[in-house]
Amino acid sequence: MRRVSSPPSSRRAGTILPGILVGLVVMICCLALVLDKLWMDAATTELRTASEAAAFAAARELIQDDLLCEDYDSQERMKAARERALEVAWENPVAGQPVELDATPDGDIRFGQLVCDSDSGRTRFLQTVQKPRTVVVTSCRLRSRGNPVALW
């Protein structure tokens, strides 16, 4: 009489499962990196928009009709323009947080004029307090300033 034997049990049962788990972990890590990159790109765009809005608001405040008067007080106009830039920057959030600018004279809001460089022919910014006509606003979110953009 022949004996019917069952097929031998496989010792490799379940060996594909760890490979699938490792693959899923790698895919999730890659997705997290992509989302962080997109988040940082969006924050960069929002920061640029906030800086431009603050610069435009400050320039509008700086260049007024009283600029044509003899007794034009550029210090008073620069103070008002700096305050307006701070307000507008605060109203434009970056990554859900308001933008904070350094309001000191050598800070993030600088006043001056655009001058043509005769050597290179390029236009450059010359910081001055004598009859300023241009406003440059530089904004950043840095860990050293205590306001970094949070990652996922």
Is 70 exceeded by the pLDDT of residue 1? no
Residues in Cβ contact with 123 at an 8 Å cutoff, skipping those fewer than 6 apart: 114, 115, 116, 117
Is 80 exceeded by the pLDDT of residue 128? yes
Q: What's residue 53's pLDDT?
A: 97
CB 54 within 8 A of CB 101: yes
pLDDT digits (tens, 9 = 90+) for 27-83: 999 999 999 999 999 999 999 999 999 999 999 999 888 777 777 788 888 999 999
Q: If pLDDT is split at 50, 70 and 90, which confidence band does 13 have?
A: low
Q: What's residue 29's pLDDT?
A: 96
pLDDT digits (tens, 9 = 90+) for 75-107: 888 999 999 999 999 999 998 888 989 988 888
Across the range 141-152, mean pLDDT stands at 77
Q: If pLDDT is split at 50, 70 and 90, which confidence band does 11 have?
A: low
Is 70 exceeded by the pLDDT of residue 152? no
DSSP symbols for 106-141 = TSSEEEEEEEE-TTT--EEEEE-SSS--EEEE----
d(CA 115, CA 121): 10
Q: If pLDDT is split at 50, 70 and 90, which confidence band does 7 have?
A: low
Q: Quick one: CA torsion of 55, 110, 89, 79, rounded to 10 degrees?
A: -100
